[in-house]
Chain A
Amino acid sequence: MTSGTGLLDVRGLKTYFPVVGGVLRKTLGHVKAVNDVSFSMGKGEVVSVVGESGCGKSTLGFSILGLTLPTEGSLKLAGHELDIRSPASWKPHRKDFQIIFQDPYTSLNPRHTVFEILAEPMRVHGMCSSRELPAAVAAMLEKVGLSPDYMHRFPHAFSGGQRQRIGIARAIGLRPKLLVCDEVVAALDVSVQAQIIQLLLDLKSELGLSLLFISHDLSLVRSISDRVMVMYLGKIVEAAKTEDLFANPRHPYTAALMESIPTLDRARRPKLLGGEIPSPVDLPPGCAFAGRCPRVQDRCRREVPALFRAGASEAACFYPIDLPPIP
C-alpha cells in the first residue's frame, strides 16, 4: 500500500488457523484470518484498520506484534527484517511496538497494584533502575491524566475509562514508536470514548507515536485517521487517505458499510446490505464479497481481484464505483 514507510513494512502477510476435527484430530482446513496483506506505516501516522467481526483486523494487529505467529510473509519493524517463525525475533523490538487491548477489565492483572502493572515492563526492558521506578510510574500516570496518588490501588478501584488510561500508561512507559490500539474504546461509554481518543492523539503529537487503530466504528475512524484500510474476510479490500475514502468509496463493500450505519441525520435512512459474512473456512472462489455485492458480475465469481489503483484509492474490485472497470 501507498504512503509512509520506514516504521513498519508488511508484505504478503498471511495468518492461518488450522481447523481440526474428527477422532484423529486431522486438519480439515484453514481459517484464513489474514490472507495476503501488505502495507507500510511511517512515523507519526495514524492508520486505521476497519471491518466487521471476523474480518481479521485484530489478528492482523496481533500478527504484527508476534502475539499470534504469522504463517507466511515478511515483516520489517523499523528497518529490521523479522524471522516470523520465531517469537524471539520480536523481542529486541518489543518496547518499540506496544499494544492497548479492547477490554480494560481483563487486560490488567487484578492482583497487581497500578505501580506493579506499570513498573514491570519498565523493569523488564531496563528502562530505569528500581530507585527511579516510583518517579517514572508517577510521571506516566500524570501523562495519562491520573493522579500519582492512585499508584498503590488495584485495578478494581477504577472505572473503565480510568483502566484504559492505565493500559495506555503501561504501553507508553516503554516509549514505543508504534501503538497498536485494538478496539480501545469499544467497551467504554460515549462521553469517555472521546476522552480516551483525545488522550491518544495528544500523546501521539507529544511523543511522536504512530498509531495503528483497529476498529469497527467508521465514524470514529473518520475522526482520527490519516489513512484507512477496509478489511473483509482476511483481505484489504480498500485503502486510501481518510478524506478520499469517505468522499469517494470505490469498493462496493466500503460504500455499503458507510451507507448501512445509522447517523443523527433523520433524512438519511441507512441502506441495507443483505446477508452476513460467510464462513472464513470455505471461501468461495473469486471475490470474497461477491455473494453480498450489489454490483457483482460473472468475472467476480471466477477471479480474485488484486488491489488495483482506483481514483485516489486502491480497491480490490474489478468494477470500482464511478470508475471504468479494470480490464
Chain B
Amino acid sequence: MYITGMDHSSRPLLEVEDLSIGFAGDQGIVAITDKVSFKIDPGEAFGLVGESGCGKSVTCLALLKVLPNPGGKVLSGRILFKGRDILSMTPEELRKVRGREIGMIFQEPGAALDPLMSIRRQLLEPFRNHGYEGDPMERIRFLLDRVGIADPERVLASFPHQLSGGMLQRVMITMALSLNPSLLIADEPTTALDVTVQAQIMELLADLRRDLKVSVLMITHNLNLVAQYADRVAVMYAGRIAEEGPVEAFLRRPLHPYSQGLLAALPRLDEPRGPMRPIPGHVPRPVDYLPGCRFRDRCPHAFEPCVRKPALFSAGPGHAAACFLYENGGVK
C-alpha cells in the first residue's frame, strides 16, 4: 500500500509493492522484510534509511534480483521498473536491465572491483557485455573527467590496490554510469571513506544526478547524508517501513517515534555538549519480532492499539507513518 498526497503526472521509475523477503533459517524460512512499498520518480534522490538488520540492503539486492542464492527468497510483492516486473523477467531481460538501466555502487569499492584486472579492462566490461554503438573509451574518458579524475591515463593503467578509497569509488561511479542508466543504486556509498572524501563523493553524486538526469536510490544509516542529498526518505525498522515522506517535512516533523528517537540520538556538530539521548533497548533479530508494532517495546508512546500491526497512516502531503498515533490523521 502506498499512500501519497502528491500528484505525479508521469509514471514512477521504480515501484516496489508489498515486497516481503525471507531467508532460510534453522526453523524454515524467516521473513526479513514485511510488505515494503515505496516508489521513486524520474530524477528523484530517494533515501532508504535504517540501522543494521532493518532489511534495507536485502531490499536493494532484491531490486536487481541478486539475493543470496540459496538462502534468500522473495516471498511476495512486485518490483516494477518502468512498469515492467523485475521479478518475472527472464534471465536475458534481467541482464539488459542490470548494468544498462540500473547501475549500482557499493560500500567497499575495493571489494567490489577485481583486484587482478586493470581499471581500463574493468571499465570496458559493461560495454562489452551490453554492446555499445560509439567508442567506449570516449565515453569512459568523458565520465572519468566528470567524476573528477584529473589523470585518467594513470588511473586506467592502475590496478585497484594502487588507488585510494576515494579514487576507487569514483571508478565505481564511472562504471555504474557507463551505459547511461536511469537509476543508480548506492548502498552506503561513503561509509568506508574519510569525512572529507565522503563530502566530495556525495557532492559528485548530486551533480551527476542533476546533469545526467539519473534517479538515485541511496541506502544508508546516516541521516545527515539523507538530510543533505535526498528529496524523499523512507525509514525502515525491523523489516518494515516506519515512516515515509519528503525530507524537508521529515526533518521538520518526524512522525514515527523511532524516527524521532534516531534524530534525537544523533550527536550534533552544530550544538554544544548536552546529554546523550539514546533509544533504550536494541534492534531485535527477525526471530524476535513482536506481533503488532515491532517498535513498541522501545517506544515511549506505546499504547493499547500497538499490539496490532499499524498501517501507514497519512499525516501530511506525501508524509505517512506506520504508527497508531496518526490513525485519525494525527488527531488522537
Contact = CB atoms under 8 A, between A and B. Distances in A.
Contacts of A243: 272-273
A189 B228 contact: no
Nearest to B275: A198
Nearest to A50: B195
B289 interface: no
Interface in B71-111: none
A87 to B, nearest CB: 32
Contacts of B278: 191-195, 197-198
B223 interface: yes
Contacts of A37: none
Contacts of B272: 222, 243, 246
Contacts of A277: 194
Interface in A18-56: 52-53
B164 A190 contact: no
Contacts of A223: 267-268, 271, 273-274, 276
A219 B227 contact: no
Interface residues of A, number: 47
B196 A260 contact: yes
Interface in B217-233: 221-225, 227-229
A103 interface: no
A190 B266 contact: yes
A264 interface: yes
Contact of A264 (B52, B166, B194, B224): B224
A189 B188 CA distance: 13
A258 interface: yes
Given A189-B221, A243-B272, A272-B200, A264 B266 contact: yes
Given A191-B279, A197-B276, A198-B278, A263 B195 contact: no
Contacts of B265: 190-191, 193-194
A142 to B, nearest CB: 17
Interface in B191-229: 194-200, 202-203, 221-225, 227-229
A224 interface: yes
Interface residues on B, range: 35 or more
B262 interface: yes
A107 B24 CA distance: 29
Interface string A264-282: 1110111111101100000
A263 B224 contact: yes
A66 B227 CA distance: 42
Contacts of A217: 267
A79 B127 CA distance: 66
A201 B276 contact: yes
B274 A265 contact: no
B262 A264 contact: no
A264 B199 contact: no
A189 B268 CA distance: 16
A192 B276 CA distance: 11
Contacts of A246: 269, 272
Contact of B276 (A194, A216, A262): A194
A222 B277 contact: no
A283 interface: no
Contact of B223 (A194, A218, A264, A274): A264
B326 to A, nearest CB: 22
A262 B225 CA distance: 6
A290 to B, nearest CB: 16
A263 B268 contact: yes
A220 B265 CA distance: 11
Given A194-B267, A263-B224, A266-B228, 11 more contacts: A52-B195, A190-B265, A194-B279, A222-B269, A242-B273, A260-B195, A262-B222, A266-B248, A266-B251, A270-B203, A276-B167
Interface of B: 51-52, 164, 166-167, 194-200, 202-203, 221-225, 227-229, 247-248, 251, 261-263, 265-280, 282-283
9 contacts: A190-B265, A192-B278, A195-B280, A216-B195, A263-B268, A264-B263, A272-B203, A273-B196, A276-B164
